[in-house]
Amino acid sequence: MRLLARAKADWPVADLARPGPPLPIAPLNRIIRYGVVGVAVSVVYSLGVVLVVALLPTHNATCASALVFAVILPIAYFAHRQIAFFDATRDPFQPLRFGVTALSTFLVAIGGMYLVTEILGRSYLFGIALNCALIPAANFAIFMFWVFRVGKREVGGLPFSVGGRSRE
């Protein structure tokens, strides 16, 4: 029984009933959560584009992509907020920062594809590979430090980081 009690005490989720914000999670755990959410959102987005292209009378992939992007954006925010960055202190500007980041990512993806296909004259598959390599890593860092501001807490209305040093 003592072994079970000790194991429970060492388990990072053992204090779920603890009042206040959740404890920060390990970086690898967050990266895995971010990856799972990202893959799930990407699959839903891709299937949505295929479906909308098939349903649009013009079969225009650019219009379908923009439409599905607008629909999937709040779903992606909610998924990242609840799963990958659940321990971040909430603030009213997170959705706006997420939207700005997502729109920037969308423009970078289009620009990267244009660079690879039109300027460098390579296959669009290289553009996909470039976007798959650069965008998730950049977004993870932006989400951590700007969108969800992981590690930032407020005590008595004053912002401070988990390490105790002020960020402002």
Which two tokens mark 153? 């807490």
pLDDT score recorded for residue 3 = 44
Contact 127, 112 (CB under 8 A): yes
Determine which helix (DSSP H) or strand (DSSP E) holds 141, and give its type and residue range: helix 124-142
Least confident of 60-64, 136-140, 160-164: 160-164
Least confident of 14-23, 91-100, 132-141: 14-23
- Over the stretch 124-161, which tens digit does the pLDDT of each residue have? 878 778 887 888 888 888 998 889 888 765 544 444 44
With cut-offs at 50, 70 and 90, classify the pLDDT of residue 21.
Answer: low
**Beta strand 158-161 pairing with 152-155:** antiparallel
